[in-house]
Amino acid sequence: MSMKQIADWALNVVTQRGAGYADVRIVDHRQRSLATKNGKVGHAGSGETLGIGIRVLVNDAWGFASTDDLSREAVEKTAAQALEIAKASARVKEEPVRLAPEPAVKIEWSSPYKIDPFTTSIEQNFDLLTRIDAELLAVKGVTLAESSMQLGRYEQWFYNTDGSDIHQTRVITGAGFCALAFQGTEIMKRSYPNSFGGQHQNIGYELIDGLKLLENARRIGEEAVALHKAERCPEGKMNLVLDSSQLGLQIHESVGHPIELDRVLGMEANFAGTSFLTLEKLRTLRYGSDIVNVVADATEQHGPGLGTFAYDDEGVQAQCTPIITKGLFTGYISSRETAHTIGETRSNGTMRAEGWNRIPLVRMTNISILPGEKPLTFDQLISGTDDGIYMQTNRSWSIDDKRYNFQFGCEIGWEIKGGKLGRMFKNPSYSGITTEFWNSMDAICSRDQWTLWGTPNCGKGQPMQTMGTGHGASPARFRGVKIGTAYKGN
């Protein structure tokens, strides 16, 4: 049975019964998730799910239904159910749905990779994780070593009543570790290459070699232990240098979420609330300083981000949208339904669903800050900073429901004095107001310091959908930021 035939069963039912538009996504999603604690298996899970989601527009209102039974009878019944839901929605709709037009396409696409992650064995994966744990535990004072790996393969067939036929496959690889040191009442933590599960990208198992996990384990363990002897971070207004992974999280929370057009319009407020970026701010708000350039880029050229694809989940081609251009706010991320609210005739292609049983939502693609145009290494950035604090690796985040006031805590800080890195500080944090913060940015490293980080666990919607987003960033400096200690502790 071909996927197209299955989709046709659904599309025929809804068009015969008067649907104005419909699309079908069939998804085959395979995942492997492994974790170790102190060299023992902490978690091992693998699963595969296959199903169909049917989205229907009747009387300018949406209906959606899904099933994991791909028999003709079940698919036709599910299509009829989506239709009934749309008719019910139409009776209570506030505004008619207006879809921006989109040409039909036929395409096959796969994210580029060298080693299919599923050609590696679970034994091979666990061997690496237990060796990392052993390296961490070899450091005196490390009490808990945790390592993890996530592998995925996401294959999707998309068909709609306009005639699109889009088949895409993405492979996803992620890994990382952390060392925890308990002493007295304090727990110190160091993670690598990033907190919350490490680094994740839409590439194959070759990512793992590139991360140099084993090579960095000893150093990370030693830093976790050393943090206990470190002084508390000083408080006050000072210069702040952020590493690229923390800057990635800063982008996620204070640029990525507020530019989601469904939040701006009040169509979605779950988890992260709404947005301060009301429509009149488009092309008028000074979001940041002249060197702040942010794009929403889902194209393959941008890199193997978790927000990279060929076409989104309503059949719109991946695009690069300028979000902040030389400090000016220039764009939202939109859908076929919301494009008209900002005077656009086309969606910029950011609708994605977690799987076959979820309806697509406006989601961050790769929301990245462009590197500096002039050559600037990390060492030059530090040597050009008289004094301040350098912070690495996120530990906690907090931001209000309009995405305006924030406070972030990091795992480790370093004093910058006379253009050199000095003492280590524990529990450093910084806080600010989104636009003031981005306007205080006065230096950013160039392309050779730029990394496309992956955030695999962004939650949105009801029922909740967990999606991966990408954030490219280079280390950058901010002037006059409010700095302090996140955890008052000893």
Distance (Å, rounded) from C-alpha 366 to C-alpha 455? 10
Distance (Å, rounded) from C-alpha 340 to C-alpha 335? 9
Which amino acid is located at 300 in the chain? E
Ramachandran category for residue 150: left, alpha or beta (phi over 0 → left; psi -120 to 50 → alpha): beta
Distance (Å, rounded) from C-alpha 334 to C-alpha 284? 19
Whether the pTM exceeds 0.75: the reply is: yes
DSSP class per residue in 409-422:
EEEEEEEEETTEEE
What is the pLDDT at residue 268? 79
What is the pLDDT at residue 1? 86
CA angle 389–391–394, rounded 5-degree value? 155
Phi and psi dihedrals of 450, rounded to 5? -90, 135
What is the pLDDT at residue 486? 62
- List per-residue pLDDT tens for the chain, 490 residues long: 899 999 999 999 999 999 999 999 999 999 999 999 999 999 999 999 999 999 999 999 999 999 999 999 999 999 999 999 999 999 999 999 999 999 999 999 999 999 999 999 999 999 999 999 999 999 999 999 999 999 999 999 999 999 999 999 999 999 999 999 999 999 999 999 999 999 999 999 999 999 999 999 999 999 999 999 999 999 999 999 999 999 999 999 999 999 999 999 988 777 667 899 999 999 999 999 999 999 999 999 999 999 999 999 999 999 999 999 999 999 999 999 999 999 999 999 999 999 999 999 999 999 999 999 999 999 999 999 999 999 999 999 999 999 999 999 999 999 999 999 999 999 999 999 999 999 999 999 999 999 999 999 999 999 999 999 999 999 999 999 999 976 554 3
What is the pLDDT at residue 488? 53
Please name each of the domains of the chain with its CATH number.
3-229 (3.30.2290.10), 231-485 (no CATH)
What is the pLDDT at residue 489? 45
Q: Which residue has the tokens 């030059």?
A: 380
Local structure of 4: helix, strand or coil:
helix
What is the pLDDT at residue 487? 54
